[in-house]
Structure 1
């Protein structure tokens, strides 16, 4: 097993790539609704004859939206038919791409692309890709020098979107974590894979004794690199009376994959207001949640600078311990398939994952499942 003592350093998430049916339209959605800005592009105009991609950024969060150009791209067409618009690649910034790749392959990883070097007048990028769960991949990205190139083949986009002058900034700062949903029984093998192949460790875990309703439940183990800059919750359904939210994702996604992106913000109230003004639909928190929260805070003798009535207005939930607290809100799925969604969160000296909110989150999701006819 790889350990942090002998494994190259991970520097954090580099980007997340989604394969989508129409990259141009998807980029417009992520700009106007979620507040991202396009900063790089590849397509026919840049000499790319096979792919078109838009690179978007909000704070340090980078998304790449890609579509195949020729109609006969078998891999892309099968991925789109099976998963819909979905995450294809979760890329990590590393200190040494070649060493990270070599150790991963030696530990049993399946190679998609061996290390490739790309050099311009200002620096070098080294890329390599391995397979992870389902059809998802991990790319290792090593950047050196002062190159402004995002990825090979991309050109910088410097034209500001006129809507940025009209719409309030969402204020996302960094990618806190990405949740991967997997089938029941796959948890321990995948945990062992992240430990052995990438040298990650178990950061946090919770099971269905805590995360459940009368209908369903889940188990989760959060994997993290040695610096804990990268966190990936692995989420597995627990057998219930009815179909839970994880099973619903697996059914409509066509198997395991990335379910949610958690973006950190310094001011969740401002972020929530901006999302609301941009027309983003958020998950409706059950009405009984906020009276219970007031009771908990009173017993714990905690006074908040924020107003709980405003939390209720924007469907913001709170978890806390003796060290601090977490504020979080969730969007509804980003596509017609009830699959991937976004979480926006603010941490105040709190490193947990909102365990005390999980039941309320489940109840909120089950309300939406009922509307979709999928709670059965």
Structure 2
């Protein structure tokens, strides 16, 4: 069985579940691997290498019935009163695999976390799985913690594994690169939150999940975060990650079999709007995103790739639309030409696909222990990034693809480019 990072899967709630499955399968080239259909909801598991999305479409909103189901959550219940079906899509559940669910549960209980679902044990012919779901302090977000033990099924008990021929793939003639070689694992998730709440959110995740804040790159100030601005509006970014996952109970499936942890890490980047300048009428992109989403939540998910050019080529051929590329000057001497040449990348290919490069993404990761600070800084490295347009029918959620060449953080140039691109979309749409 393939090993997965500490992220077991990410769940997307979809009003039109079958349509969302078609988008992920036919455009993003994911494989449909398992399904679960009940009177309460239809669920589909789509995967590619170490990246798994669970699509859930509710058919019943009865709270008591949903509470008894081990896997189904009404993601809209935090904003809509009564028993109502969701009217908006949302990427709302980041599920983690843990090695000791009881230890994780004690930590959650000791810090006053609210459980969306109690601890439940599910069985099938492949073994048993224990799980609990906790409500995040951010908007409609939840986290399911999964202890799999010796479970040998493809996903979770109750899901029906599909044969390969049950999951159509794009015609081979349309694909220039091997599908399984270009998307690898979840790299990070980005959240949009209300103004002046990011430090409170980081504190909650530190207490409940053992996460640690890290500086996004060398430009970030410890107390202020990374500040970006354009025209009359601005954005503050702070980030956190699961640090030394084995110490907080998060493991890969390979670790649970006794091998060394190498990829058990997830970064979460938090964006909050800054107060507008006096007299400004321009809407901040974070505020606009939350208005469309219905509150704070997951803005985008980033997937790592070892070949971003191949990934983008395949996805464009399959119909994926990407964000507006940077202006032509980005790929000249007044832009990032020298960085591209120094990195040994093909200038024409990056320009053709609108791929961004950043050499500032060294990242300063640390754990504070009194006056001590543990730092690991990488230089002479770079990363490549590209962002899709929103991919859900009724939500502004989008995806990012990222290729890291030694860079562990996030380059301020690329973050600023994304910020300005999204802001321009909001102002001129």
Task: Give the alignment's TM-score, normalised by structure 1.
Answer: 0.87
Q: How does 1:1-376 map to 2 (within 5 A)?
A: 12-43=6-37, 48-70=38-60, 75=74, 84-132=88-136, 133-160=138-165, 161-166=167-172, 167-168=174-175, 169=179, 171-205=182-216, 206=220, 210-227=227-244, 229-240=265-276, 241=280, 242-291=282-331, 295-296=335-336, 298=338, 303-321=342-360, 322-337=379-394, 339-372=396-429
- Tell me which moved more, 12-21 or 217-226: 217-226
* Partner secondary structure for residue 323 of structure 1: coil
Taking a change above 3 Å as real, the CA distance of residues 289 and 344 of structure 1, as seen in their structure-2 partners, is farther
Question: Could you list the per-position Cα deviations for residues 47-98 of structure 1 after superposition, in whole angstroms to 9, with x for gaps in the alignment?
Answer: x221110000011111011111247679467569777211221101111112
For residues 223 and 88 of structure 1, the distance between their equivalents in structure 2, rounded to whole angstroms, comes to 18
Shift of 1:218: 1.3
Shift of 1:337: 4.6
Structure 1 residues without counterparts, runs of 5 or longer: 1-9
For residues 139 and 40 of structure 2, the distance between their equivalents in structure 1, rounded to whole angstroms, comes to 24
Question: Could you list the per-position Cα deviations for residues 302-354 of structure 1 after superposition, in whole angstroms to 9, with x for gaps in the alignment?
Answer: 52332122212111001114331000000011135562100001000011112
Shift of 1:291: 3.9
For residues 91 and 140 of structure 2, the distance between their equivalents in structure 1, rounded to whole angstroms, comes to 9
Q: CA RMSD in A?
A: 2.5
Contact in 2 for aligned 1:85/1:335 (Cα 8 Å): yes
Shift of 1:122: 3.3
For residues 209 and 99 of structure 1, the distance between their equivalents in structure 2, rounded to whole angstroms, comes to 34
**1:5 equivalent in structure 2:** none
Taking a change above 3 Å as real, the CA distance of residues 284 and 220 of structure 1, as seen in their structure-2 partners, is same
For residues 23 and 108 of structure 1, the distance between their equivalents in structure 2, rounded to whole angstroms, comes to 33
- Tell me which moved more, 79-88 or 105-114: 79-88
Taking a change above 3 Å as real, the CA distance of residues 117 and 88 of structure 1, as seen in their structure-2 partners, is same
Shift of 1:265: 0.4
Q: How many matched pairs?
A: 358
Contact in 1 for aligned 2:31/2:169 (Cα 8 Å): no
Shift of 1:217: 1.9
For residues 189 and 77 of structure 1, the distance between their equivalents in structure 2, rounded to whole angstroms, comes to 23
Structure 2 residues without counterparts, runs of 5 or longer: 67-73, 245-263, 361-378
* Partner secondary structure for residue 211 of structure 1: strand
Question: Could you list the per-position Cα deviations for residues 227-247 of structure 1 after superposition, in whole angstroms to 9, with x for gaps in the alignment?
Answer: 261211121111234212211
- Tell me which moved more, 180-189 or 343-352: 180-189
Question: Could you list the per-position Cα deviations for residues 238-294 of structure 1 after superposition, in whole angstroms to 9, with x for gaps in the alignment?
Answer: 123421221111110110000100000010000111111111111112315524566
Contact in 2 for aligned 1:208/1:217 (Cα 8 Å): no
Taking a change above 3 Å as real, the CA distance of residues 76 and 350 of structure 1, as seen in their structure-2 partners, is closer
Shift of 1:198: 0.9
